[in-house]
Amino acid sequence: MKDETIAIHGGYQSEPTTKSVAVPIYQTAAYEFDNAQHGADLFDLAVPGNIYTRLMNPTNDVLEKRLAALEGGVGALAVSSGAAAITYAVQNLAQMGDNIVSTPQLYGGTYTLFAHMLPRQGIEVRFAEDDSPQAIAKLIDSNTKAVYCESIGNPAGNIIDIEALSLVAHAQSVPLIVDNTVATPALCKPFEHGADIVVHSLTKYIGGHGTTLAGAIVDSGMFDWTADRGRFPQFNQPEASYHGVVYSEEFGAAAYIARARTVSLRNTGATLAPMNSFLIMQGLETLALRMERHCENAIAVAHYLKEHDLVDWVSYAGLNDSPFYPLAERYMKGKASSILSFGLKGGYAAGVKFYDALNLFKRLVNIGDAKSLACHPASTTHRQMSQSEQAEAGVKPEMIRLSVGIEHIDDILADLAQALDASQA
């Protein structure tokens, strides 16, 4: 099936008891065992079935299958937020004494996790000086367990050369994790370009309506965890916390995602509520349609701002003079999602006046809603960072980030026009 069809039908056939056409919300904590032997078999993973919703739920299972199919992976794990997905994706690979190597420009929450929290747990995060494969390669050593990047950076809008990063990671037997939140599988499929693991904040474009927090990890099944057994003992040695299972033997290509569920999710419990799973799937059904309109509106806004006298600079990879346009063409058919940033002439002060004058655009910290949204990263998402950390993360003091929605373009441009006028008042 093609993506538009998978997004609507993937992973679900009308449930046999009720023939419900919509995916049912299985609002249950636990599942009954037929008898003691059935319970034992379930715990031994000898038969398929459900035990307890912290680790598996039939509603979440449909979402997981749908996402795995859309990204072209062997399995997925849905969790309660994008932040939980990223935490688990890394913790499934790296332990105390290990390191990961990351591109410098990241979502603010991810940056804080990497720069401040993981190091306190003994996982060092090495930020490369830029996005180039050379800058990444020189930081990888025998304790490196992953290379990390965002296919389209939030908020900087930079686009990563996924294939080049995958080659330098693979040259040293290290997997590449790509946060594909901003691009979504409608625009970019990181596994087709060498990525091994994809993480998502489903809260954004996939849910698409700003109602529901959710996240997911998707496993390509392509990384060979047995090639460098010393680097990844957790997939090659008996797991003490799960009756001695050896993940690479028991789960083969799906070893990574099986361990993420049975170790990270089972023991720390950032479970996705089935109701939220349902809401995310409602959004996912129209992902392809919405992304088309998001991109169409964003390029129109980018052209409008670029030609406006009061605007100093516009950064949007969909503009064909953007330094990222060649990568947008290569990885996303020239479509760069709907996040764009710009700076007004008059710097910070004009930026604040503009921001305060917006009517249709909501002032908030979120992206990927059907509604148009605006954010001032320096005072919000990236506020906890020092000025130099902000600069490294691609955040300028005057920068306004827009997440262009799917309203009529005339209304979007009218709101920007009146706010631009007000910035000079």
Ligand X SMILES: *Cc1c(COP(=O)(O)O)cnc(C)c1O
Please give the residue ranges that form the binding site for ligand X (CB under 6 A).
Answer: 81-83, 107, 109-110, 150, 154, 179, 181-182, 201, 203-204, 213, 215, 367
The whole-angstrom separation of Cα 110 and Cα 41 is 39
| Residue number with CB closer to ligand X (215 or 405) | 215
| Residue number with CB closer to ligand X (161 or 369) | 369
CB of 409 to ligand X, least distance (A): 24
Query: Cβ-closest residue to ligand X?
Result: 82
| Residue number with CB closer to ligand X (184 or 423) | 184
Q: Helix 409-422 to helix 287-307 angle, to the nearest 10 degrees?
A: 40
| Residue number with CB closer to ligand X (93 or 373) | 373
CB of 213 to ligand X, least distance (A): 5
| Residue number with CB closer to ligand X (58 or 82) | 82
CB of 89 to ligand X, least distance (A): 11
CB of 149 to ligand X, least distance (A): 11
| Residue number with CB closer to ligand X (114 or 235) | 114
CB of 367 to ligand X, least distance (A): 6
Q: Look up residue 141 and give its amino acid.
A: D
- Angle subtended at Cα 106 by Cα 261 and Cα 254, rounded to the nearest 5 degrees: 25
| Residue number with CB closer to ligand X (201 or 248) | 201
CB of 240 to ligand X, least distance (A): 30
CB of 152 to ligand X, least distance (A): 8
| Residue number with CB closer to ligand X (133 or 215) | 215
CB of 253 to ligand X, least distance (A): 26
The three-state (H, E, C) secondary structure of the chain, written as one string: CCHHHHHHHCCCCCCCCCCCCCCCCCCCCECCCCCHHHHHHHHCCCCCCCCECCCCCHHHHHHHHHHHHHHCCCEEEEECCHHHHHHHHHHCCCCCCCEEEECCCCCHHHHHHHHHHHHHHCCEEEECCCCCHHHHHCCCCCCEEEEEEECECCCCCCECCHHHHHHHHHHCCCCEEEECCCCHHHHCCHHHHCCCEEEEECCCCCCCCCCCCCEEEEECCCCCCCCCCCCCHHHHCCECCCCCECHHHHHHHHHHHHHHHHHHHHHHCCECCHHHHHHHHHHHCCHHHHHHHHHHHHHHHHHHHHHCCCEEEEECCCCCCCCCHHHHHHHHCCCCCCEEEEEECCHHHHHHHHHHHCCCCEECCCCCCCCCEEECHHHCCCCCCCHHHHHHCCCCCCCEEEECCCCCHHHHHHHHHHHHHHCCC
| Residue number with CB closer to ligand X (184 or 248) | 184
| Residue number with CB closer to ligand X (199 or 245) | 199
CB of 313 to ligand X, least distance (A): 22
CB of 331 to ligand X, least distance (A): 16
Q: Which residues of 94-106 are buried (b: 16+ CB within 10 A; e: fewer)?
A: beeebbbbbbbbb
- Across-strand partners of 13? none
CB of 271 to ligand X, least distance (A): 14
| Residue number with CB closer to ligand X (179 or 398) | 179
The whole-angstrom separation of Cα 74 and Cα 261 is 14
